[in-house]
Amino acid sequence: MGGQKRKATYEDLEAVPPHRVAELIAGELYVSPRPAAPHAVAASELFITLGGPFGRGQGGPGGWRLLFEPELHFGEDVLVPDVAGWRRERMPRTPRTAAFTLAPDWVCEVLSASTRTVDRTAKLPVYAREGVRHVWLVDPVARMLEVFRLEGSHYLLLATHADQARPRAEPFEALELELALLWEE
């Protein structure tokens, strides 16, 4: 007769060493190493590329608050996307808290060997449940960007872009995104 597995708590998450990334999804603690270079390059370049035109309105429409690795609290779930964005009309000011309870309008997960399955199978359903309208999955090894839009309670894959493509991807279609900048050479 096996015992039932204990549900992980926020205290378990706080006990994870700072050199690891910890998330809590459906009572399970997920711990990942800090991102390797291809992952860090893709996330950083994407943040830089979108930040000027959408975050600050420099050469673009503005109207967004973009954050790098925000801690999102959705009930008992705690997720840390690589990059997240809120439309300014929904978040006029950035809260002075360590965690965010308002679901972003867009999140980007940069896939790695240690996070690929969690990002696709555990995190996507939580983002859908919380009403995150757009999700991007970036794979720096395969050099691919997958663009999803929430339709009802599930995500619809709108497009897959690869290598040197220059897509206009929702919700940032006002800018032609130069994918080559995301891939470490």
pLDDT tens track for 156-182: 999 999 999 999 999 999 999 999 999
**pLDDT tens-digit map of 53-76:** 999 989 889 999 999 999 999 999
Q: How many CB atoms sit inside 10 A of residue 150's CB?
A: 17
Does residue 79 fall inside a structural domain?
Answer: yes
What is the average pLDDT across 72-83?
96
Enclosing domain of residue 48 = 35-182
Instruction: For residue 108, give the nearest of 126, 130, 81, 69 by alpha carbon.
Output: 81
Residue 159 located in a structural domain? yes
Around 172, how many Cα atoms within 13 Å sit in the side-chain half-sphere?
Answer: 32
For the residues 124-128, what does the mean pLDDT come to?
A: 98
Evaluate whether residue 77 is within a structural domain: yes
87 with 62: CB under 8 angstroms? Answer: no
**Confidence band for 185, pLDDT divided at 50, 70 and 90:** low
- Residue 167 resides in a domain: yes
Task: Tell me the torsion sign for CA atoms 122, 127, 129, 133.
Answer: negative
Say if 128 falls within a structural domain: yes
Report how far residue 17's alpha carbon sits from residue 62's, in angstroms, rounded to the nearest whole number.
36
Residue 16 lies in a domain: no
**pLDDT at position 154:** 96
How many domains is the chain partitioned into structurally? Answer: 1
Asked if the structure places residue 155 within a domain, the reply is yes
CATH number at residue 138: 3.90.1570.10
pTM listed for this prediction = 0.94
pLDDT at 2 over 80: no
